[in-house]
Amino acid sequence: MNENFKLNNMTFGKKFNSFIIVFIVLVTSASCKPEIITPTPNPIVVVVGDSILKVSADGIFMRNSKPYRGIGVNYFNAFYRTILNQEDKSYSEGLKYLSDNKIPFIRFTANGFWPNELTLYKTNKARYFTLLDEFVKTAEKYRVGLIPDLFWFYAAVPDLMGEHMNQWANPNSKTIAFMRTYTADVVSRYKNSPAIWGWEFGNEVNSYVDLLDQAMNFLPPVNVVGGTPATRTSEDIITTDILRFALNDFTETIRKYDTERPIFSGNTMPSPNMYHRYKYKNWLQDSSTDFTALLDAQNPVSLGTLTIHTYPDQEFKYFSDSMDSLSQIIKEAMRSSNELKRPLFIGEFGSSKTLGPTLEAQKFQELLTAIIDNKVQLSSIWVYDFSPQDADWNITPTNSRKYQLDAIINANAQFGL
């Protein structure tokens, strides 16, 4: 496999969405369902009680019977590195550092990225869960919370099943059957672990939806060595309605085994005219009212939460009624959260090294200050200990971006963690 191709596409959703935003600114239940395979018995028997993260009836994150605020990290490949090399347990050192510095939780991918990297679970489920058990127990040992993203690259499952992306909305598809079985296995196995703080569907799937006449230009990337087909077709176009179906089915599956923990979409910040594309099939710019309606549509009420990812490249005249700065964008997301009574998770935020040291630090501080001042309860910075992004995003305790870790450690101390 071409390593540069793999690494450049590892977090394709975020980069894709940034490109689409620039483009946009320029152009101004079915009764018959596949059966879920009976989950493997749960090897971890722990009474979790109020220590887990929950959502209150009025839309607030709660932990230990109190409103909760905390900033974690994206530790994208903490377990993924073990899937690629089963001897690699370096996540233990990383989790210990986070624990020692009271960074409370991580968001990570629970499986592979490319279709072929999902085959360990498919062909040797016992081995897959032996490895994941050890990872979860290590997080328990260090008291670091886990938000596993179960389907990081949304195209991987349809590709693995030999289907197109539109099968995420077919209740009888192999794609949905795999999703239900894998989700049931993971959730039922770890539902009693105090390390699990929530469940997430995929990474920035909403980047790909409702692209209208441009949709064929932005199909999922192809990597034949990684298990994708050589070409894509119009059946690989997805819409908000397809995303909603998948999210609702995902939630329904989880709630059979875990009725309390939050469920997250993994969505990024909508682009500035995504509601018009969804509702009216045109490219006109959205208002702040449209923004709220779109968050509602792309984070179905069944989830009980809202998710966005926030970066400096979103900073321009975002709404037709003049909301533009990073602080205003986050303020508007919190207004929507309060209006919809669903707590907001900023699943990713950060500023890139490519901005240069002065602007990088300035934009990072703007984002962190906005998160604190607007009382965002849950957020996580991109990205901790991910060497493939050393040139732009990686943050470690020993590199030049350590100041960002120090800043979130200080913020968590202000929150009483």
Q: Is 110 exposed, middle or buried (0-12, 13-18, 19+ CB in 10 A)?
A: buried
User: 344 pLDDT exceeds 60?
Assistant: yes
Could you tell me the pLDDT band of residue 33, with boundaries at 50, 70 and 90? very low
The pair of three-digit structure tokens given for residue 337, joined into one six-digit string: 């959260």
Instruction: Give CA–CA dist 149/202, Å, rounded.
Output: 6
Give the CB-side neighbour count of residue 48, counting CA atoms within 13 A.
23
* Per-residue pLDDT at 380: 98
Instruction: Give CA–CA dist 207/274, Å, rounded.
Output: 9
* Domains of the chain: residue spans and CATH: 3-28+35-414 (3.20.20.80)
The pLDDT tens digits for 225-239 are 999 999 999 999 999
Instruction: Give CA–CA dist 282/354, Å, rounded.
Output: 33
* Per-residue pLDDT at 315: 84
* CA nearest to 312, candidates 393, 412, 374: 393
The dihedral through the CA atoms of 154, 160, 165, 169 has a sign that is negative
* Per-residue pLDDT at 385: 98
Q: Residues of the chain with pLDDT > 90: what percent?
A: 84
Partners of 209 in the β-ladder: 238
User: 41 pLDDT exceeds 90?
Assistant: no
Backbone angles phi and psi of 344, in degrees to 5? -95, 130
Q: Given strand 199-200, what is the order of strands in its sheet?
A: 263-264, 199-200, 145-149, 105-109, 70-74, 378-381, 344-349, 306-310
Measured at the CA of 337, the angle between CA 204 and CA 13, to 5 degrees, comes to 10
Amino acid at position 76, single letter: F
Could you tell me the pLDDT band of residue 324, with boundaries at 50, 70 and 90? confident
* Per-residue pLDDT at 319: 86
Partners of 149 in the β-ladder: 109, 200
* Per-residue pLDDT at 1: 35
The pLDDT tens digits for 99-147 are 999 999 999 999 999 999 999 999 999 999 999 999 999 999 999 999 9
Instruction: Give CA–CA dist 272/266, Å, rounded.
Output: 18
Task: Determine the average pLDDT of the residues in 368-387.
Answer: 98
* Per-residue pLDDT at 272: 94
The pLDDT tens digits for 169-197 are 999 999 999 999 999 999 999 999 999 99
**Looking at per-residue confidence, does 71 or 19 come out higher?**
71
User: 38 pLDDT exceeds 50?
Assistant: no
Question: How far is C-alpha 193 from the chain's CA centre?
Answer: 20
Could you tell me the pLDDT band of residue 49, with boundaries at 50, 70 and 90? low
The pair of three-digit structure tokens given for residue 144, joined into one six-digit string: 């670091």
pTM attached to this predicted model: 0.91
* Per-residue pLDDT at 5: 30
User: 19 pLDDT exceeds 70?
Assistant: no
* Per-residue pLDDT at 51: 80
* Per-residue pLDDT at 317: 77
Instruction: Give CA–CA dist 407/413, Å, rounded.
Output: 10
Measured at the CA of 302, the angle between CA 244 and CA 159, to 5 degrees, comes to 35
Task: Determine the average pLDDT of the residues in 153-171.
Answer: 98
Q: Residues of the chain with pLDDT > 70: what percent?
A: 88
Query: Which range has the worst mean pLDDT, 33-47, 258-272, 294-308?
Result: 33-47
The pLDDT tens digits for 241-259 are 999 999 999 999 999 999 9
* Per-residue pLDDT at 21: 36
**Looking at per-residue confidence, does 376 or 28 come out higher?**
376
SS3 of residue 113 by DSSP = coil
Q: Would you say 233 and 168 are in contact if contact means Cβ atoms under 8 Å apart?
A: no
* Per-residue pLDDT at 414: 95
